[in-house]
Amino acid sequence: MHDLVIRGATVVDGTGKPGFSADVAIATGRLVAIGSGLGEARETVVADGLTLAPGIIDSHTHYDAQLTWDAFATPSTELGVTTVMIGNCGFTIAPCRPADRERTLRNLTQVEGMALDALMTGTRWEFETFPEYLDALGRLGVVPNVAAYCGHSSLRTWVMGDDATKRAATDDEIARMQTLVREAMAAGAVGFANSTFEGHNGWGGTPMPSRLASDAEHRALVKAMGESGRGIYMLTKGSVTSIAFLESLAADSGRPVMVAALQYDHANPTRVFDDLSAIAAAVGRGRRLYGQVACTPVTMDFRLDSAYLFEAMASWKPAIAAYADHDALKRLYADPAFRAAVRAELVKPGSLNRFTDQWHTVEILEPVKPEHASLAGRNVADLARAAGKPPLDWLLDFGIAEEFGTLFIAQILNSDEDKVKLLLKDPNGSVALSDAGAHLTLFCDAGFGLHLLGRWVRERGDLTIEEAVHELSGKPAGIFGLRDRGTLEVGKAADMMLFDPATIGRSPKRRVNDLPAGAARLVAGATGLHGVWVNGTRIVDPTGLMSTSARPGKVLRDFAG
């Protein structure tokens, strides 16, 4: 007798081939039969034509700390995600000595927009080394499957201490980091992750450690990863890193390279297409390179005492250092020299900021003072024009007047869907970039897969449902070497989601206070999602995330080469 039979489903199996009507049987966590007349089961779900597809594989998350207190990796699991990859950008929490724990969490607070109180209260430090971290996740139990990168910034901190954010590594230090990479790969890391992006700053505006690494250091660590014969190198690319250099790393190591974050930027409209063209040329030369692309518009909520929107700008660095001291921040924001420097950089060709001077895209989301309530929904360009001020000056003056409590929202990337369509259809692109678990007060793209199915399949018709499901499951499984996941085929793990194509999507964002220490975050729920199973265990029903003590996920350690 089967454990579960789902009857009368439209099966979209993740391979890209056309959907078909069938029953699906599951036993001991795996698909054992697909067809009709499959016999009896302990549990039966009548799909009545709903679509059954593989669960979503989210290859760009930051649940490294959250998983130590939240086995469900919320909100991802309630949004159809059955496998998460953590440690992206190299912002991991292992290896980490006890003396470096607070430093590591404070850096995450800044670079990934996480609440410090939540991190300090919730993180369970039952490990120091990377292998011990994977073991700890296994002991604690996980609801989704988890694959973990070994992260460059953590390696530098372990080996170099305070100097990790100050200088390049010596040959001896690089050799010690190589040993750690080899150790992580032997323990089951999915690869090695890194960042050279200028906007990735830690506590007080200090660059994240990986940004101080030389090309020689990057090359040595990627080669150490490649010695295992498996693994993928993931990089969030800054302006100093070229696709040509990344191609050379792929050639030296023999391993694939995943390049993030490739999104359409109205301020530099050719950049993302230039990068994808360079990736295509490298692929034509036999290298395995992929570009991580997003299917969602990137809107960013921010306050002026944590203005991630501007943090890639050199002129904004003094503000980052002053965030924790509101009196100092008021003085800085009122300084004409500071304002002049920021204004100049905002319109400078090739500026690294993701906003440029598009003030009509910046709106007041939540004013603090009652007398300002009527300004909610108004954009800064109009308000500044009415006040006779430059928009930046108006923004800073208003932020000061509201004691930095105002929540603003800006649309910064992927705002032109016709351009984004080209990214989604690029054969060397990989749909991801949810940043789930991070930027908790800025945006919630954990439901990117549901958005792909709702917006790009149903509403726009740019992708077929088979193409979209393949992008969310079979394709990333192939890229990352997930041996028995990503497709609904006999013998594969029963990671599945059941949904209604006519209603699948995301609900509006809402603010909840469900993090440790009562910290807040923005989340979005699912619409049209009727069920999610991880390794054959149901975790979501039509009402949402189920209350269960089951921890059906696996810490994935065995990947194809």
* DSSP per-residue string spanning 313-363: SGGGHHHHHHTT-HHHHHHHHH-HHHHHHHHHHHTSTT-S-SSTT-GGGEE
Strand partners, 430: 292
> Rounded mean pLDDT of 309-319?
90
Pairing state between β 41-46 and 2-11:
parallel
How far apart CA 561 and CA 230 sit, in angstroms, is 4
Would you state the pLDDT for residue 199?
85
What separation in angstroms does the CA of 401 have from each of 172, 330, 434?
52, 9, 34
Would you state the pLDDT for residue 222?
98
Classified as helix, coil or strand, 236 is strand
Domain ranges of the chain: 54-297+414-545, 301-413
Please give the helix or strand (H or E) that residue 532 lies within, else none.
Answer: strand 529-534
Percent of the chain with pLDDT over 90: 82
- pLDDT at residue 415 tops 90: no
Please give the helix or strand (H or E) that residue 239 lies within, else none.
Answer: none
How far apart CA 410 and CA 316 sit, in angstroms, is 17
Sole residue written with tokens 């209350």: 547
Q: Which tens digit of pLDDT belongs to each residue from 246-290?
A: 999 999 999 999 999 999 988 788 999 999 999 999 999 999 999
Strand partners, 344: none
Residue 355: pLDDT band with limits 50, 70, 90: low
Higher-confidence position of 356 and 192:
192
- pLDDT at residue 354 tops 80: no
75, burial (CB in 10 Å: exposed 0-12, middle 13-18, buried 19+): buried
Q: Which tens digit of pLDDT belongs to each residue from 117-174?
A: 999 999 999 999 999 999 999 999 999 999 999 999 999 999 999 999 999 999 999 9
Of 477, 272, 307, the C-alpha closest to 409 is: 307
What separation in angstroms does the CA of 155 have from each of 92, 180, 245, 298?
9, 7, 22, 30
Would you state the pLDDT for residue 351?
58
Look at domain 54-297+414-545 and name its CATH class: alpha beta
How far apart CA 263 and CA 430 sit, in angstroms, is 12
How far apart CA 251 and CA 438 sit, in angstroms, is 32
Poorest-confidence range of 86-90, 107-111, 441-445, 545-549? 441-445
- pLDDT at residue 515 tops 90: no
Of 510, 498, 414, 409, the C-alpha closest to 456 is: 414
> Rounded mean pLDDT of 341-359?
75
Would you state the pLDDT for residue 361?
84
Q: Quote the tokens at residue 137.
A: 């996740």
HSE (side-chain half, CA atoms, 13 Å) at 472:
33
Q: Quote the tokens at residue 280.
A: 């295509």
Percent of the chain with pLDDT over 70: 98
Would you state the pLDDT for residue 352?
55
- pLDDT at residue 353 tops 70: no
Average pLDDT, the chain: 94
Would you state the pLDDT for residue 356?
62
Q: Which tens digit of pLDDT belongs to each residue from 294-308?
A: 999 887 778 999 888
How far apart CA 192 and CA 220 sit, in angstroms, is 12
Residue 189 burial (CB count, 10 A): 30
> Rounded mean pLDDT of 352-374?
83
Pairing state between β 407-413 and 362-366:
antiparallel
How far apart CA 538 and CA 175 sit, in angstroms, is 45
Q: Which tens digit of pLDDT belongs to each residue from 30-60?
A: 999 999 999 999 999 999 999 999 999 999 9
Let me know the angle formed at the C-alpha of 108 by 341 and 82, rounded to the nearest 5 degrees.
125
Q: Quick check: 492 and 26 in contact, CB under 8 A?
A: no
* 206 phi and psi angles, rounded to 5 deg: -70, 135
